[in-house]
Amino acid sequence: MILIVDFGSQYNQLIARRVRELRVYCRIEPPDITVESIRELQPDGIILSGGPASIYDKHSPRVDPQIFGLNIPILGICYGMQYMMDALGGTVKGAGKREYGHAEVLVRRPESLFKGVESTTPCWMSHGDSTTKLPKGFRITGSTKNTRIAAVEHPKKRLYGFQFHPEVLHTPKGKIMLRNFLFDVCDCPRNWTMSSFARESIRSIREETGDSKIILGLSGGVDSSVTALLIHQAVGKRLTCIFVDNGLLRKDEAKKLKTVFQQHLKINIRFVRAGKRFLSALSKVSNPEKKRKIIGKVFMDVFEAEAKKIKGAEFLGQGTLYPDVIESRSAFGGPSAVIKSHHNVGGLPKKMRLKLVEPLKYLFKDEVRKLGKTLGLPDELIWRQPFPGPGLAIRIIGEITRKRLEILREVDAVLLEEIRANGYYRKLWQSFAVLLPLKSVGIMGDQRTYEHIVAIRAVTSRDAMTADWAKLPHRLLGAISNRIINEVRGVNRVVYDISSKPPSTIEWE
């Protein structure tokens, strides 16, 4: 495995992804990791990440410099390289001006990490300080116009440094450089596959939970579904899933989930129908944040009451993913940590005193999908578009009534049918309908109508942090609009949302 020491760069998770794409397992650890823990982990190599600090900042992050004496190959990236240069006796100075953006590396030594890379190659720079004097035994392997010491190595000690970021796509040959480090220098085995991960986690879940019972809140999303499947393969009937039907789901969603989990996968599952309870708690509430709070609270109450019925449960399974783990513990969490916090409605009461089992906590989303495939989860669940915890409640602008829910559910079902039939479901990050608190005049047959307006929202995105409105073909938009107005009573107008995020958000509330 490769150990990545986290100096706080926004690109950290990208380093981990690149390494795993090359089928090598890696872990990201904070800089206060001890040399003893590193020895225990037995990494084949270490990557010191970049970071926003300058080594001259009073509180700049540092890792124990003894790691340079462990005889483990180390690659320092950006701040990581500067830290290495400084710790080993080189000189790092403020460059006067920050260098940010594209640059060309002139490769001075077309071997070791630059093997297979052209003699000049684009790279992505983002730094304020630069190395001005090398520590003993190091040599320059690459330079840019503004940065003479842009890449360095000490081949005998197997220490390497890049001032630029090989992990980003703006450094097109970065992956080759990382590959050279992983396989030529560190001699890593290529054994990170989802079936090896599944085997290993099934073994460790069994070991961790012994004979105890495990509870899991199933939402139907890919994370909780894959977690359920994995834990089920480890402990079978000792796992009980709880699915809370809050009455705010898409059409037939609960039914479909029941068929897959109960009939096909034979997983113990308790369905709690709590629609009435949610609806009455939400009565006359229009404020979006209030809606979220109420839904979160009722969910906790319902879940807890159901969980109590399962005697002897000691563990709670959760589908926490690696990005959440890194963001929640990183001192330099970055803006994403703040933006996403309000979405974790699913967090369960601490007072339940259950120990957590989080088998996906070292995986990225795309790996979770691959794992789902390996474990036999149907494609329909693996590729489900994200659906928010508060469900249709935040897609009904204004008050939520049974009638308005029914209208939105039908509209949404027609929309998804068209999106699927035209091959757009997987191309879109999300596609859904929003019911507006407005009526407008229309004409149907010879009759004047005065009915609801719905908006269609379809976006493309990589991670929901930013999103583009989808350029769906007019023909498809026309078909969607026609079908909705003809098939759903109470709607006489359909509009398409053409705003991107930022400055808009994906959801309307």
Chain residues binding ligand XMP by CB under 6 A are: 292, 343, 345, 386, 388-390, 430, 464, 501, 505-507
Task: For ligand XMP, give the closer residue by CB, 199 or 343.
Answer: 343
Closest CB 60 distance from ligand XMP, rounded Å = 33
Please, which residue, 121 or 430, has the CB nearer to ligand XMP?
A: 430
Q: In 3-state terms, the chain is what percent helix, strand and coil (to 5)?
A: 40, 25, 35
Nearest-CA neighbor of 278 among 262, 292, 266?
Answer: 292
Tell me the C-alpha distance between 251 and 418, whole Å: 15
Nearest-angstrom CA–CA distance, 135 and 128 = 20
Minimum separation from the CB atom of position 356 to ligand XMP (A): 19
Min. distance of Cβ 260 from ligand XMP in angstroms? 21
Closest CA to 146 of 123, 113, 175: 123
131 in Cβ contact with 89 (< 8 Å): no
Angstrom distances, CA of residue 398 to CA of 189, 339, 454:
56, 24, 13
| Angle, in degrees to the nearest 10, between helices 194-209 and 365-375 | 80
Min dist. Cβ of residue 223 to ligand XMP (A): 11
**Residue 153 three-state SS:** strand
Catalytic residue check, 358: no
* Residue whose CB is less far from ligand XMP, 125 or 405: 405
- Check 26, 78, 188, 241 and give the catalytic one: 78
CA 229 vs CA 73, 264, 422: distances in Å: 38, 12, 30
Q: Considering the complex, what minimum distance in angstroms separates the CB of residue 326 from ligand XMP?
A: 18
What is the residue-wise DSSP string for 182-203? IIIIS-------HHHHHHHHHH
Answer yes or no: are the C-beta atoms of 125 and 170 closer than 8 Å.
no
Of the candidates 362, 405, 393, the one whose C-alpha atom is nearest the C-alpha of residue 509 is 393
Among residues 127, 154, 165, 452, which one is catalytic?
A: 165
Q: How far is the CB of 105 from ligand XMP (least distance, A)?
A: 37
Strand order in the sheet with 151-154: 26-29, 2-5, 45-48, 74-77, 159-162, 151-154, 139-143, 91-107, 120-133
Q: Which residue among 99, 153, 167, 367 is the active-site one?
A: 167
* Three-class SS state of 114: helix
Closer by beta carbon to ligand XMP, 128 or else 389: 389
Contact call for residues 493 and 434 (beta carbons, < 8 A): no
167 is catalytic: yes
On the 0-12 / 13-18 / 19+ scale of CB atoms within 10 A, 386 is middle
By beta-carbon proximity to ligand XMP, the closer residue of 142 and 389 is: 389
Residues with catalytic roles: 78, 165, 167
